[in-house]
Structure 1
Amino acid sequence: MGPSARRRQRHRHASAAVHPRLAPGPADAGARRGLHRRHLRRPGRRLSMTLVADEDTPQTPGPPQPETGRLGIGLVAGTAIVGLILGALLGWLVFGQSSPADDSVEAGFARDMTEHHAQAVEMSLEVLQTTEDEGLRALATDIASTQGNQLGQMEGWIRQWGLPMARPGDRMDWMGEMEHAMHLVEGAPMAGMANPEQMESLRTAEGEAADVLYLQLMTTHHIAGVEMAEAALDGGVDGEVRRLAAAMVNGQESEIELMLGMLEVRGEQSQEQSGLTVGVAEQGEPMDHEDMGHGEDDPADHADDTGHDG
């Protein structure tokens, strides 16, 4: 084979390497160029050749795209801002153009009940670490979940109203005369709440003793919670605040009856039945079994506010 033939042979090998998927064509270079042009004019072949080149060509990461990154961050920030605006708009739609005043019943109820609920959640989480009773476990789980959600809702209201969490006066001032009819355990921050010694006893108690103490403390806690919610209803709260207060009355009165039954099965009594706390009884008289957990209003009176009974 002469020099010219060897050069043509090498050229054919190089072409086949570049385009391995092309059908063999004439040896003439001009004819091959015409064949390649015909394939490139066909859209299907253009895609096919691109794919072949991708398979044979090592992939290297492209340069960073700063503009795209900044755009993504901007979209995320924009979405967050829109969310804040929508949240503020929702608060305006729910509570109207004017928010409750700092010393209003709505603000007092939300602040005090937030603190009250926080202890109920804490007590429930404590007993969940020790109890082996499935019924009590279900009750404590429900209380922790329900009151935790309500707590977050009330904190959200306070932020939407543009008010501080700190009170302008004393706890429960917003309740007026009803506050004075409620029993405050020495050292407890609010009516119905356990004091530090009682909380420590709950943390260290075990087995049946822990179950009984939880039921006693939570019954007292719920009785005061019902009275606080009824004070809000009597104070003329409207809208979402009224619906939540009514749901608390219905739900917690139902749980009070359940806890009294659990204590009775264990041969125990609530603190109110034992006369250890006065609860919300008038003139310092301990509440009896029939009165416990019920204020002056029947929970059915508030059913229209919630659409359910808690």
Structure 2
Amino acid sequence: MTSRPTDTTPSDTSGEATRSVTLIAGTAILALLVGTLLGWLVFADSTPGDDSVEAGFARDMTEHHAQAVEMSLQVIHTTDDQDIRTLATDIASTQGNQMGQMEGWIRTWDLPMAASGERMAWMADVEGYDDHSMAEHHATGAMMPGMATPAQMEELRSLEGEAADILYLQLMTTHHIAGIDMAQAALDAGVEDEVQRLSAAMVNGQEAEIALMTDMLHARDAQTLEESGEDADH
């Protein structure tokens, strides 16, 4: 006797998306509290300054992550593909959690969330930093390398089904490539303690997700923007 596949009705899909968003929001709030507590414990004897690598990394990566969460929440609501929904939920949950931790650190350091200087200025003095490589992923109009432009975000919001899935995978792959470069720069700069641990987790986790997203694109007869030779502006 064979079992019948479970139908996924629009109501089921909407309910699952709502549960995913609720879980992600709860995780981010918990991470903010934990990040603040760990900040008190770990950085009590040496608080990073306003122009430190630690502060620059935490601020810029928080902003970078915010767009990844936004893109993921968008596709969770539009996709009919369970694999895409699972990936997007994992990315939104992980990066929302990491955002909470970094915001908690900044609060503990008694620093403003917004930097007074340019974004990513802290990377300029990191040995081995490749400004040209980052520039390749800096689309005109995007706030930082790897981030989607307003036009790309609007395109993602306008699409549904597989077209939206493919664009999401492409934009998120580029997003991850630049995110890894930023996290690796923090490691190369010699950050310590929780900042080092979180940076290393970002590099490892996002490298694995890039491999997965590349395979998912190929399975859909599509390529990453990097494979297709398209520039950052898509």
Please report the TM-score for the alignment, with normalisation by the length of structure 2.
0.79
Is 2:160 aligned against 1:188? no
Q: CA contact under 8 A between 1:117 and 1:151: conserved in structure 2?
A: yes
Do the aligned partners of 2:36 and 2:105 also contact (CA within 8 Å) in 1?
no
Q: How does 1:82-101 map to 2 (within 5 A)?
A: 90-101=38-49
Matches within 5 A, 1:220-235: 220-235=174-189
Query: Match for 2:130: what amino acid?
Result: M
Structure 1's consecutive aligned runs of 4 or more residues displaced over 4 angstroms after TM superposition are: 86-90
Say if 1:103 and 1:168, in contact at 8 Å, map to a contact too: no
- Counterpart amino acid of 2:167? L
Question: 3-state DSSP class of the match of 2:115?
Answer: coil
The one-character-per-residue Cα deviations of 1:112-143 (angstroms, maximum 9, x if unpaired) are 00000000000000001111111111000000
Q: CA–CA distance in 2 between the matches of 1:89 and 1:135? A: 35
Question: Aligned with 1:181: secondary structure?
Answer: helix
Aligned residues: 194
1:215 aligns with 2:143: no
Tell me, in whole angstroms, the C-alpha distance in 1 between the residues paired with 2:130 and 2:154.
29
Equivalent-residue separation in structure 1 for 2:192 and 2:35 (angstroms): 20
- Over 3 Å counting, the alpha-carbon distance change for 1:187 and 1:118 in structure 2 is same
Q: Structure 2 counterpart of 1:178, which letter? A: D
DSSP-derived class of the 2:130 partner: helix
Shift of 1:146: 0.5
Equivalent residue number for residue 15 of structure 2: none
Contact 1:173 1:179 in 2 (8 A): no
Distance 1:112 1:95, change over 3 A: same
Residue 174 of structure 1: how far off its partner (Å): 0.8
Per the alignment, residue 198 of structure 1 pairs with 152
Contact 1:106–1:241 at 8 Å: present in 2 too? yes
Structure 1 pair 173–87 and aligned structure 2 pair: CA distance change class (3 A):
closer
Gapped regions of structure 2 (runs ≥ 5): 1-33
Q: What is the aligned counterpart of 1:268 among 211, 222, 230?
A: 222
Structure 1: state its 5+ residue gaps: 1-85, 280-310
Q: Deviations over 1:213-269 (max 9, x none)?
A: 000000000011111000000011000000000000000000000000000011111
Which position in structure 2 is the counterpart of 1:126?
74
The aligned residue for residue 178 of structure 1 is 130
CA-CA distance at 1:275 after TM superposition: 1.3
> How many angstroms apart in 2 are the aligned matches of 1:180 and 1:162?
34
Change (3 A) 1:274 1:163: same
Q: For residues 273-300 of structure 1, what are the alpha-carbon distances to aligned partners after superposition, in whole Å with 9 as ceiling and x for unaligned?
A: 1111369xxxxxxxxxxxxxxxxxxxxx
Instruction: Report the residue type matching 1:247 in the other structure.
Output: A
Question: Matches of 1:90 and 1:110 in 2, distance apart?
Answer: 14
Question: How far off its partner does 1:166 sit?
Answer: 1.4
One-letter code aligned to 1:172: M
Deviations 1:20-54 (A, max 9, x none): xxxxxxxxxxxxxxxxxxxxxxxxxxxxxxxxxxx
**In structure 1, which of residues 141, 146, 151 is the aligned counterpart of residue 89 of structure 2?**
141
Q: What amino acid is aligned across from residue 144 of structure 1 in structure 2?
A: A
- Structure (1 or 2) with the larger CA radius of gyration: 1
CA shift in 2, pair 1:259/1:129, >3 Å: same
Question: In structure 2, what is the Cα distance between the partners aligned to 1:248 and 1:215?
Answer: 18
User: In the alignment, residue 64 of structure 2 is paired with which amino acid?
Assistant: H
RCO greater where, 1 or 2, for CA within 8 Å and sep 6 or more? 2
* C-alpha spacing 1:257/1:87, structure 2 compared with 1 (3 Å): closer
- Does structure 1 residue 164 correspond to structure 2 residue 116? no
- Residues 272 and 98 of structure 1: CA distance in aligned 2, closer, same or farther (over 3 Å): same
User: Which whole-Å deviations, capped at 9, do the CAs of 1:176-233 have from their partners, x for residues lacking one?
Assistant: 1434431310000000000000000000011111000000000000011111000000
What code does the residue aligned with 2:41 have? L
Aligned CA RMSD, in angstroms, stands at 1.8
1: CA distance, partners of 2:108 / 2:90: 27
Counterpart Cα distance in 2 of 1:134 and 1:197: 27
